[in-house]
Amino acid sequence: MRALRVVALGYLAVMLVVPLGVVAYKTFEPGLGAVWESITTPAAIHAFWLTVEVAAIAVPLNAVFGVVTALVLVRSDVRGKRLLEALIDLPFAISPVVVGLALVLLYGRTGWFADLPFQVIFSLPGIVLATVFVTLPFVVREVVPVLREVGDDQEQAAATLGASRAQTFRRITLPSIRWGLVYGVVLSTARAIGEFGAVSVVSGKVSGETETLTLLVEKRFTNFDLAGAYAASTLLALLALATLVAMTLLNRRKDPA
């Protein structure tokens, strides 16, 4: 057992802790003042809020879609459920860069939907679409097993006690899948703020306009602004951490016993 523990912890250390530690160390090496300066440039502030905005649209969308889809997959007996299941996993299988290219082909200047009244590619809608695509499976994949495990006994009991479908969902189903939903939302958020490939293709990387935090990190890195890249990375990590903490706190408050 001890050997296994050493292997597991060693693996985590080499693969996770050391790289992240180096980033944190490098970030604060030039001193706090320098860090503050590099994350408060107009471009950085804009990138930060753009990232938050994109996540705030994409994640709730996928949370709602995810719960509905999970209900269809587990509770109904519609035809084509297997096809639906396979489709849901598609974003896991496809490279984000390909997703980005597909969106450009669809919504770009020569695409099928080129005549929309607003611009999609190289602007916010495109970034949101790309993010929705890549984060689509998380909530479904987390909620489906929980729904299966919980079973439909409680929902049937609620129905015999006079609850309508909506009441049953709100009072019984939703509370019982809460943890799966929260975990799915946390994973989606992490992916949404960390997405690079698809977003980099559709955004156009216009600084101060369509540049998200990950794109900013990449730009600074390729421009040999290593300290700036580290600082932006740390900001990204803090954002992810904040989501995790917020969701945990939110859930604990409602958690019985």
Partner 1 sequence: MISVSSATKRYGDFAALDDVSIDVEPGSLTALLGPSGSGKSTLLRVIAGLEEPDAGAVVLEGRDVTYVHPQQRGVGFVFQHYAAFKHLTVRDNVAFGLQIRKRPKAEIAAKVDELLEVVGLSGFQRRYPSQLSGGQRQRMALARALAVEPKVLLLDEPFGALDANVRAELRAWLRRLHDEVHVTTVLVTHDQEEAMELADRIVLLNHGRVEQVGAPRELYDAPASDFVMGFLGPVARVQGGLVRPHDVAVLVEPDGDGAVEAQGRRGRHRLPAAAGTGVQRRVTQDSGSSASGCSSAGRLPAARSASVTCSTTPRRLERTAIHTCCSGAALPA
* Residue 179 is a binding residue for partner 1 (CB under 8 A): no
Q: Which is nearer to partner 1, 117 or 162 (CB)?
A: 162
* Residue 3 is a binding residue for partner 1 (CB under 8 A): no
- Per-residue tokens: 214: 């990950």
Quickly tell me which residue has 């890195």 as its tokens. Answer: 221
Measuring CA to CA, which residue among 96, 176, 188 is closest to residue 137? 188
Q: Which is nearer to partner 1, 223 or 248 (CB)?
A: 248
Quickly tell me which residue has 């679409």 as its tokens. Answer: 129
Give min distance, CB of 145 to partner 1, in A: 16
CA angle 24, 27, 31 (to 5 degrees): 125
Q: Which is nearer to partner 1, 63 or 172 (CB)?
A: 172
Instruction: Please give the C-alpha separations between residue 228 and each of 26, 103, 167, 234, in angstroms, as whole numbers.
Output: 10, 31, 51, 10
Q: Which is nearer to partner 1, 164 or 223 (CB)?
A: 164
Main-chain dihedrals φ then ψ at residue 219, nearest 5 degrees: -65, -45
* Residue 251 is a binding residue for partner 1 (CB under 8 A): no
In sequence order, the 6+-apart residues with CB closer than 8 A to the CB of 103 are 120, 121, 126, 129, 130, 133, 198, 201, 202
Q: Which is nearer to partner 1, 26 or 178 (CB)?
A: 178
Tell me the C-alpha distance between 108 and 130, whole Å. Answer: 13
Q: Which is nearer to partner 1, 72 or 159 (CB)?
A: 159
* Residue 226 is a binding residue for partner 1 (CB under 8 A): no
* Residue 76 is a binding residue for partner 1 (CB under 8 A): no
In sequence order, the 6+-apart residues with CB closer than 8 A to the CB of 1 are none
Q: How many residues bind partner 1 (CB under 8 A)?
A: 19
Give min distance, CB of 178 to partner 1, in A: 8
Give min distance, CB of 165 to partner 1, in A: 8
* Residue 58 is a binding residue for partner 1 (CB under 8 A): no
Q: Cα 94 vs. chain centroid, distance in angstroms?
A: 16
* Residue 248 is a binding residue for partner 1 (CB under 8 A): no
Q: Which is nearer to partner 1, 95 or 167 (CB)?
A: 167
Taking a C-beta distance cutoff of 8 angstroms, is the pair 213, 236 a contact? yes
Give min distance, CB of 186 to partner 1, in A: 20
* Residue 9 is a binding residue for partner 1 (CB under 8 A): no
Residues 114-173 that bind partner 1 (CB under 8 A): 153-154, 156-164, 167, 171-172
* Residue 67 is a binding residue for partner 1 (CB under 8 A): no
**DSSP letter at 41?**
S
* Residue 175 is a binding residue for partner 1 (CB under 8 A): yes
Residues that bind partner 1 (CB under 8 A): 153-154, 156-164, 167, 171-172, 175-176, 178, 256-257
